[in-house]
Structure formats: structure tokens, C-alpha cells
Amino acid sequence: DIQMTQSPSSVSASVGDTVTISCRASQGITSWLAWYQQKPGKAPKVLIYTASSLQSGVPSRFSGSGYGTDFTLTISSLQPEDVATYYCQQSNNFPLTFGGGTKVEIK
Amino acid sequence: EVQLLESGGGMVQPGGSLRLSCAASGFTFDNYAMNWVRQAPGKGLEWISGINRSGRGTYYADSVKGRFTISRDTSKNTLYLQMNSLRAEDTALYYCAKGLSSSWQVDCWGQGTLVTVSS
């Protein structure tokens, strides 16, 4: 199975800061990586697919990059509504696997 | 508007069975792969099963292989998850999730149905 390792597990930043979340795959997954945002008590929502494509309706302050084994989700200019847990997921191989999540809070 | 509505959750004793359903609307159901993803209380997301557009390709996490069966009924636009031999560690919120375009990435999630396995 492909292991997805996210870091950090939590981050606290000020409104307006840039937040970077990393996701590393245990083997190459080309661009088959998605990022999801989950707010407390809500279902997840896709932000980014195929590593860098922004889902329709998602604010442009979210961006994704990477290929192979190393990926990054960047939130530029953090907003209060961005408080959530963020997950990466690979879909290159079955079983599909998620990272452990990164909790983003406002300082 | 894409909608996924899960049902069938509840409380069941260890060793028991449940069948979850996911009623899909707002898109052409048989054009997309579908998945089940679960989330144990206070924990992260775990993909447990997927089914391709035709229904002939099914995939499972090791944690549920041999106990759970995914299926789809295109005449009813409904996804199913038959869960047998349930264990306490299967307690979770179960989400139905639609595949994105021709891939296994998810672009839409239901609100989930809660399964509690307890004696």
C-alpha cells in the first residue's frame, strides 16, 4: 500500500499569513493527488485535484504543486473561514490512501 | 446540483450486518466511479471501497475485504455497501463519494451515515 505522510499535523497562523502543508507518498504517484478540506462537523470538500488543478468555486488563494512523491498545498493569505483539517489522498494505486490530516488554526 | 444521500446506518451488535445506500442525483450516475469513505469518531479519513462505472470493477481496503461488498444499481441511481461480520472498529461515519470525471479522485461527498457497532 502507498503511505501518505502529511506534515505538519497542525499549524497555527495569523490571518493573512501563507500556510504550506506537505504530503509525501511512499512511492511515486505521478500527479494522482487530491487535497480536501474538512470543517468541523461537515463532509470533506475537494480543493485541488491532479496535484495542481483548482476545483471550480474554490478561492484562488488555495494552490497545489508537486509530482511523483512530494506535494504541497499552499494557502496564501489565510482567512478565518480556512480553519479546518486538510487531507491529501492518492489515487494512483488501490487501496486509495489518505494522509493523516493537518489541522489549521488561527493564531 | 449533485446530491448524494446516504441511509441505512444505525447501531448493530458485533458480528451483525447492515446495508448502506447512497441515492445519487444531479448527474449521470453510470458515468462515474463511486466510493465509500469512512471516518471513525475523532479520526481521519479512510477509503474503504470503490466501484467503477460499469460495476464490474470493485476494490477494497484490506480492513474490510471479505466482509464488505460494494455494488451499484444504475436503474435506481443508487450505490450500496453490504457490511457483514461487523466489528467495533467499523464504528464510523460512512460517506458516499463520487469520482471526479474519469478518475478515482473524489469531487463530491454525501453528508454521511453513522454506523455504531456495539453490544
The shortest C-alpha distance from A101 to chain B (Å) reads 7
3-state SS assignment for residue B45: strand
Task: Determine the residue of chain B that is closest to A32 in CA distance.
Answer: B105
Shortest Cα–Cα distance, B67 to chain A (Å): 16
pLDDT digits (tens, 9 = 90+) for B20-40: 999 999 999 999 999 999 999
Q: Do B105 and A89 touch (CB under 8 A)?
A: yes
> Quick check: A4 and A71 in contact, CB under 8 A?
no
Radius of gyration for the alpha carbons in chain A, expressed in angstroms and rounded: 13
- Beta carbons of A44 and B105 less than 8 Å apart: no
Q: How many CB atoms lie within 10 A of CB A86?
A: 25
pLDDT digits (tens, 9 = 90+) for A2-26: 999 999 999 999 999 999 999 999 9
Are B45 and A44 a contacting pair at CB < 8 A?
A: yes
Establish if B106 touches chain A: CB-CB under 8 angstroms. yes
Best CA proximity match to B24, nearest among B102, B107, B97: B97
Distance of alpha carbon B48 from alpha carbon B79, whole angstroms:
14
Residues 45-104 of B with CB under 8 A from A: 45-47, 50, 59-62, 95, 100, 103-104
| pLDDT band at residue B4 using 50, 70 and 90 as cut-offs | very high
The DSSP letter of residue B100 is P
Contacts of B60 in chain A (CB under 8 A): 95
The model's confidence at residue B103, banded by pLDDT at 50, 70 and 90, is confident
pLDDT score of A4 = 98
Q: Which grid cell sits at B45?
A: 479519513
Mutation for A interface: B94, B101, B106, B108, most A CBs within 10 A: B106
CA atoms within 13 A on the CB side of B74: 12
Chain B interface disruption, residue of A4, A96, A102, A103, most B CBs within 10 A: A96
Please state whether A41 falls in left (phi above 0), alpha (psi between -120 and 50) or beta.
left
Closest approach of A10 to chain B, Cα-based (Å): 13
Contact predicate B23/B113, CB 8 Å: no
Q: Quick check: B107 and A43 CB within 8 A?
A: no
pLDDT above 80 (res B102): no
Each residue of A52-94: pLDDT tens digit? 999 999 999 999 999 999 999 999 999 999 999 999 999 999 9
pLDDT interval class at B101 (50, 70, 90): confident
Q: In sequence order, what are the residues at sequence separation of 6 or more whose Cβ sits closer than 8 angstroms to the Cβ of residue B78?
A: B21, B22, B23, B24, B72
CB spacing of B59 vs A32 below 8 angstroms: no
- Dist CA A21 CA A43 (whole Å): 20
Q: How does pLDDT run across B43-86, given as a tens digit for each residue? A: 999 999 999 999 999 999 999 999 999 999 999 999 999 999 99
